[in-house]
Amino acid sequence: MSANLDWLQRSKQAVWHPCTQMKQHETLPLVPIARGDGVWLEDFDGKRYLDAISSWWVNLFGHANPRIGAAIRQQLDTLEHVMLAGFTHRPVVELSERLASLAPGELGHCFYGSDGASAVEIALKMSFHSWRNRGQAGKTRFVSLQNSYHGETLGALSVTDVAIFSDTYAPLLRQNVQVPSPDWRTAAPGESAQDVALRAAAVLEAHLAEHHAATAAVIVEPLVQGAAGMAMYHPLYLQRLRQICDRYAVHLIADEIAVGFGRTGTLFACEQADIAPDFLCLSKGITGGFLPLSVVLTTPAVYADFYDDRVAQGFLHSHSYTGNPLACSAALAVLDIFAADDVLAGNRRKADMLNRLVEPLKNHPRVRHFRQTGMIWAFDIDAAPPAFARQLFAAAMRRGILLRPIGNTVYWMPPYIIEEAHMRLLVEATLGALEEVLTHPGGEGDETVVP
C-alpha cells in the first residue's frame, strides 16, 4: 500500500470488529477503505471493489450518493439534533407521515430507534405492554420461525434462531417458541412452494390454537429470511399467518429491516401478500446506508391501548438519538429518490437483465437452489469445502467484488444503481472465484457461518 497506513495495523487491537473471531485477522488482513463511489468501494491503492452486498444490505443507492449527502448537509446547517421527548421537528413529522402513507394498512404511528435490533425490542415490548394494558398480562410469549434472524440484543436474540449467535447466550434468553420455516427448499418431492407454505402455516395454527392465551405476537421476516442464508418463501404463508393471528388474537410483527424499501420488488414485502402487520419494523436501507435509524410503525388500536391519564400506561421506552433530524433528512431523501426515479420499475428491469446473465451460474454443476426475489439473488454450493465462505470472500475480493457468503450460501444484494456492465463483472467474477475455491479447496477450517 502506498499511502501511510500506520493506523491499519492498530485497527486489530484498538477496534474490536463485529461478527468476527479477531484471531483470524492474523492471516486475513482487514481491508482499509479510503472512499466510496456508487457501487464501488476503493482502497488506498485505488483498487476498487463492487459492493455486491450493499455493505450489509444498507446501501440502496450507492456510496457517496450526492442527493442523500446534500439533504444531510442542508439539515446539518439547521438542526443537528434535539431530544424527541417533549420536543419535535419537521423532518421527523414529515418522515412519519410519508412512511405511514406508503406502508400497507393503517400504520399511522411511528416510534423511532437507532438500529434494527432496537426496533425489534420496541415491537416486542409494545406488543406485550399493549395486551397488558388491555388486561391480558398473561400474553408474554413470542413465536418466531426456525432460521429467523431479528438482531442480537437479548430480546431480539431470543426470537432469533441462528445457532452461532444464540446458543452461547441461551441461559440469558427468554424461552420463546420456534415454528417451522416455510422455506421452499424444504419441499418434499412433488411439493410446491405453496404446499410448503400451507404445511408450515398448519403447524403455526396448531401451536396458537393451544397457546394463544400466553402468546403476545408472532414475528417474521416477510418473504426472505436473510441472515440464515436467504431462505425464500411463498407469500401465501403471510396470508395464512395474518388470518391465524386474527383468529387467535395474537399480534403480527413484520420485521422488514432487511426486506423493506424495495428489496423484494415491492416497497414493502408484505404488499406481495396483500396484508398489513400490527407492527412494521424498518431500518437498514431507510437512510440509504448513511446514518443509523430505525422505526416501528403501528396501528391506531395499539396506540389507543397506551393513551391514558396514567403515566405508567404509556410506552416509556427511549433511546438518546430517537428520531435524529440528520437521519430523518437522509430517510426523506431516500423516499424522494424512490418517487422521482420510479426505482421499483427500474429494479424490475434490472432484475430481468441480471436474470438473463446468470444462466452459467445456474447451470454450474455444484450450484443448488438458485433463487431470486426482487433484488436478492442466492444459491447454495453442494459439498462446499470447510472454509468455503472465507475462501470465496478472498477469491472474490481479488477479482474486485465484495461477497460475503453465509456458510455454503452465496448471495448478491446489490445497490439499486447497479448497471449492466457491473452485472457482467459480478457474474464473471463470482464464477471465477467459485472455480478457484472449488478446484483448490485449501485450508482446514472452522467454518464461520456468519452473515
Ligand X SMILES: *Cc1c(COP(=O)(O)O)cnc(C)c1O
Binding letters toward ligand X, positions 227-246, x by CB under 6 A: x-------------------
Find out whether 334 and 287 touch, Cβ atoms under 8 Å: yes
Residue 95: all three cell numbers together = 418522515
Report the nearest approach of ligand X to the CB of residue 160 (Å).
8
Which residue number, 117 or 145, has a Cβ lying nearer to ligand X? 117
Q: Does 322 bind ligand X (CB under 6 A)?
A: no
**161 is a site residue for ligand X (CB under 6 A):** no
Which residue from 149, 165, 412, 416 is in contact with ligand X, where contact means CB under 6 A? 149
Query: Does residue 331 touch ligand X according to CB under 6 A?
Result: no
Closest approach of ligand X to the CB of residue 156, in Å? 6
Instruction: Give me 432's grid cell.
Output: 471465477
The pattern of x and - marking residues 117 through 136 that bind ligand X according to CB under 6 A reads: x--x----------------
Q: DSSP character for 63?
A: B
CA 92 to chain centre: 22
Task: Quote the least distance from Cβ 118 to ligand X, whole Å.
Answer: 7
Closest approach, Cβ 163 to ligand X, in A, equals 17
Give dist(CA 42, CA 50) in Å, integer.
Answer: 9
Does 226 bind ligand X (CB under 6 A)? Our answer is yes
Q: How far is the CB of 221 from ligand X (least distance, A)?
A: 5
> Cβ closer to ligand X: 133 or 181?
181
Cβ atoms 62, 417 nearer than 8 A:
yes
Of residues 255 and 305, the one with the C-beta less far from ligand X: 255
**Binding region for ligand X (CB under 6 A) out of 82-90, 133-141, 144-152, 398-406:** 144-152
**Sole binder of ligand X in the list 258, 267, 384, 433 (CB under 6 A):** 258
For residue 93, the SS3 value is helix
With cell 500506520, the residue in question is: 6
* 296: contact with ligand X by CB under 6 A: no
Q: Which of residues 264-283 bind ligand X (CB under 6 A)?
A: 283
Label residue 284 exposed, middle or buried (CB < 10 Å: 0-12, 13-18, 19+). Answer: buried
Q: Compute how many residues bind ligand X; rule: CB under 6 A.
A: 15
Distance CA(42)–CA(370), nearest Å, equals 30
| Helix intervals (H) in 257-342 | 300-306, 325-340
Residue in the shown chain whose Cβ atom is closest to ligand X: 116
DSSP H helical ranges for 258-324: 300-306
- What is the Cα gyration radius of the chain? 22
Distance CA 270, CA 282 (A): 12
* Long-range contacts of the stretch 6-15 (C-beta < 8 A, 24+): 8/32
Determine if 183 is a binding residue for ligand X (CB under 6 A): no
Q: Which residues pair with 49 in a beta bridge?
A: 41
Nearer to ligand X, 72 or 120 (CB): 120
Nearest distance from residue 66's CB to ligand X, in Å? 25
Residue closer to ligand X by CB (options 258, 297) is: 258
CB nearer ligand X, residue 161 or residue 255:
255
Q: Which of 51, 121, 221, 271 binds ligand X (CB under 6 A)?
A: 221
116, 182, 265, 374: which one contacts ligand X (CB under 6 A)? 116
Taken in order 442, 446, 449, 450, the sign of the CA dihedral is: negative
> Any contact of residue 115 with ligand X (CB under 6 A)?
yes
Cα(48)–Cα(45) distance, integer angstroms = 9
Helix (H) or strand (E) holding 346: helix 343-357
In total, the chain counts a number of residues equal to 451
Which residues lie near ligand X (CB under 6 A)? 115-117, 120, 149-151, 221, 226-227, 255, 257-258, 283-284
